């Protein structure tokens, strides 16, 4: 078997031939970034490479002074002796799978991905490879998403019911990606749409990309009292609750997350309603994506890796957990 193109190291996933890291966990000289979520794009590295649509989002996240280079999807660039290119992952705007080729051997790092289409980001593109490194955040058969249109219809109905009762709707959603996914599907006819200031900076990049988003008011904007009772407020789960005390106290609360599939997680989140709308692949999505790469070697990372690895080995793949020796 040919040598591993990527190795798990204390600083993160490392490509020795190209001397770069993919989504490093510590500061490094050269970081290749799959997408602008905080657990993938960390501050402190000397220089960053990402997809062109990701660049603006990364600048917001890492600061204007950060040295960031970008590549259009599909464009190949040589780093050391490795050829590197980005391919849409369907997770959030600009999210990419990283394709690495060395001497005819091709590995793909999925980052986070979702093969189901959404208008807020570029659609997932299967990339043929020998080895596919897959995330498996929701890598258990219990995770099967219902169509997003159905879920958005339910969210709008929930909001409408609350508005009719004169109660603002408080929706917990991550500031980048999930918030925009939800906002794009909201019906502005029901009432005003408001968002926490953590959500707002990411809206222009989405609009520039061509996503049609309804008007979003920041919570600082003056909204007449009776209008506020009909509003939906999008707040990241990590936001300071005290600031949102008024909205949280008087409103009905819900959360959008793949974790809302299970009753335990819903209970733990302390919200009244949960909608299992996700920007990650569900169990079937993971299997479909793996199959579409034609890869025989599959390394799993992030989440329920054991179940997926066991299943894949049973199906005849050569599979293991990233960082562990695969058979």
Where do contacts with Zn ion occur on this chain (CB under 5 A)?
A: 37, 39, 112
- Name which of 138 and 158 has its Cβ closer to Zn ion: 138
How many Å apart are CA 275 and CA 137, to the nearest integer?
17
How many Å apart are CA 318 and CA 198, to the nearest integer?
42
- Neighbour tally for 186: CB within 10 Å: 21
- Name which of 182 and 193 has its Cβ closer to Zn ion: 182
Cα-flanking dihedrals φ and ψ of residue 244, to 5°? -105, 15
CB of 33 to Zn ion, least distance (A): 11
- Name which of 37 and 266 has its Cβ closer to Zn ion: 37
* DSSP-based three-state secondary structure for 39: coil
Angle 178-185/148-164 helices, nearest 10 degrees? Answer: 70
Tokens 């408001």: give the residue.
194
CB of 216 to Zn ion, least distance (A): 22
- Name which of 138 and 228 has its Cβ closer to Zn ion: 138
How many Å apart are CA 182 and CA 255, to the nearest integer?
11
CB of 226 to Zn ion, least distance (A): 38
- Name which of 101 and 112 has its Cβ closer to Zn ion: 112
CB of 58 to Zn ion, least distance (A): 13
CB of 211 to Zn ion, least distance (A): 18
CB 215 within 8 A of CB 153: no
Give the bridge partners for 327, in sequence order.
none
């Amino acid at each position: 078997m040919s040598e591993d193109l990527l190795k798990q190291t204390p600083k993160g996933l490392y490509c020795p031939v190209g001397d770069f890291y993919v989504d490093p966990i510590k500061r490094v000289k050269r970081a290749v970034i799959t997408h602008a979520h905080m657990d993938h794009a960390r501050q402190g590295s000397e220089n960053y490479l990402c997809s062109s649509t990701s660049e603006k989002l990364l600048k917001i996240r890492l600061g204007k002074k950060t040295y960031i280079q970008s590549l259009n999807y599909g464009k190949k660039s040589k780093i050391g002796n490795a050829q590197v290119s980005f391919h849409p992952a369907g997770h959030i705007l600009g999210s990419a799978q990283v394709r690495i080729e060395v001497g005819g051997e091709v590995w793909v790092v999925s980052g986070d991905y979702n093969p189901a289409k959404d208008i807020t980001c570029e659609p997932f593109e299967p990339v043929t490879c020998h080895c596919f490194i897959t995330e498996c955040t929701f890598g258990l058969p219990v995770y099967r998403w219902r169509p997003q249109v159905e879920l958005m219809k339910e969210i709008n109905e929930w909001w409408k019911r609350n508005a009719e009762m004169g109660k603002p709707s408080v929706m917990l959603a991550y500031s980048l990606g999930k918030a925009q996914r939800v906002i794009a599907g909201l019906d502005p006819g029901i009432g005003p749409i408001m968002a926490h200031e953590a959500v707002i900076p990411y809206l222009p990049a989405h609009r520039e990309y061509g996503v049609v988003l309804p008007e979003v008011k920041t919570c600082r904007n003056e909204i007449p009292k009776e209008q506020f009772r009909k509003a939906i407020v999008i707040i990241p789960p990590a936001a300071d609750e005290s600031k949102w005390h008024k909205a949280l106290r008087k409103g009905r609360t819900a959360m959008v997350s793949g974790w809302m599939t299970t009753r335990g997680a819903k209970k733990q989140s302390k919200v009244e309603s949960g909608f299992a709308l996700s920007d990650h692949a569900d169990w079937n999505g993971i299997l479909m994506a793996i199959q579409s790469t034609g890869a025989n070697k599959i390394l799993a990372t992030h989440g329920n890796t054991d179940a997926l690895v066991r299943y894949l080995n049973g199906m005849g793949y050569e599979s293991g957990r990233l960082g562990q020796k695969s058979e």
